[in-house]
Amino acid sequence: MSDLPAGRTDGALPPLAVVVVNWNGREVLADCLGSLAQESYPSLHLIMVDNASSDDSVAWTRLHHPEVRILSAETNLRWAGGCNLALDVLQREGFAGWILLLNNDTVVPEGSLRRLVEAVASVPEAWAGTPRICYASDPGRIWYDGGVIGRWCGWVRHQGIRMTAGDLPLESRFVDYGTGCALLVGPRALAEVGLFDEGFHFYGEDADYSLRITASGGRILHVPRSIVLHKVSMSVGESSPLKVWLRNRSHWRLLRKHWRWYRWPLLAVCQLVYLSGHTAFHLWHGRLGTAAAVWLGILDEIRGRPYPPR
């Protein structure tokens, strides 16, 4: 028997579950959950996975948003593990709709969920989808407008980043990867691809999942008419050594997992240029620790060094 609330139904739209993974995010939950509570999507289920927060996230949510179902983890499962906890529960309960994996530091404007699901669910080859994501501090400027993965060079990047939203087209299109900040996952993706790889400690889980979708025959549809606002880098600093170390370590894991041997000669050259450029950028700005973290992340991944405690 499912513990999901009955919700409203609409024959034109499939049920939608929004999963928000939270770890000590009390200060951003009010805006995120508040925006979702105002959403008029007709069959909407709200779920928060709490990764053993030490703040009052759970108590606050129970008091102010009783409509949100809370799944409490005993330890910090991080983003991939938190998503997997919710996906596993929904699968076991027979949930047959779509699932939006959403960062807790986001705000969802009214109507965005409807536009996203309508667009993606109407395209059979689309197993997943993404909205346009703009900076919450500057809603007219884009943070994510599709993702590109260089199959030979190994570069993974956002399209449209820091560009003015009004200057870019609104037509939906297929992209190489969907960011985990707001990733809509369909029943076909769960059936064929399964859960996220929790070996990605932080970052890279979404690119890995996207590559697994395309390898299995699915595609990812980007829907710019659907908007999500993102309070960028609330969890770790924008240019902190920790963020750079985590990102580069996960990126190296991604390359080792998905790039075949015959791509590596060109891949190695491109990555050397990319890493050298990042190192020089941080050195120019006087961030010596961050510059070192560019290379330490890769070396620690190669050596299989254990991740430090949270």
Tens of pLDDT, residues 100-154 = 999 999 999 999 999 999 999 999 999 999 999 999 999 999 999 999 999 899 9
- Answer yes or no: pTM beyond 0.85: yes
What is the span of the domain harbouring residue 129? 16-230
Query: Based on the structure, what is the number of domains in the chain?
Result: 2
Residue 220 lies in a domain: yes
Q: Which of 230, 256, 290 delimits the end of a domain?
A: 230
> What integer is the mean pLDDT of 50-55?
96
245 and 163 part of one domain: no
Residue 64 lies in a domain: yes
163 and 132 part of one domain: yes
215 and 247 part of one domain: no
> What integer is the mean pLDDT of 173-201?
96
82 and 182 part of one domain: yes
Residue 61 lies in a domain: yes
> What integer is the mean pLDDT of 42-54?
96
Residue 236 lies in a domain: no
Which 3 state secondary structure label does DSSP give 85? helix
Beta-carbon neighbour count of residue 204 at 10 Å?
Answer: 25
196 and 246 part of one domain: no
Residue type, 262: Y
Residue 7 lies in a domain: no
Tens of pLDDT, residues 234-253 = 455 557 898 899 999 999 99
Query: Among candidates 34, 156, 57, 39, which has minimal Cα distance to 106?
Result: 34
133 neighbors 140 (Cβ within 8 angstroms): no
Residue 6 lies in a domain: no
CATH number at residue 43: 3.90.550.60
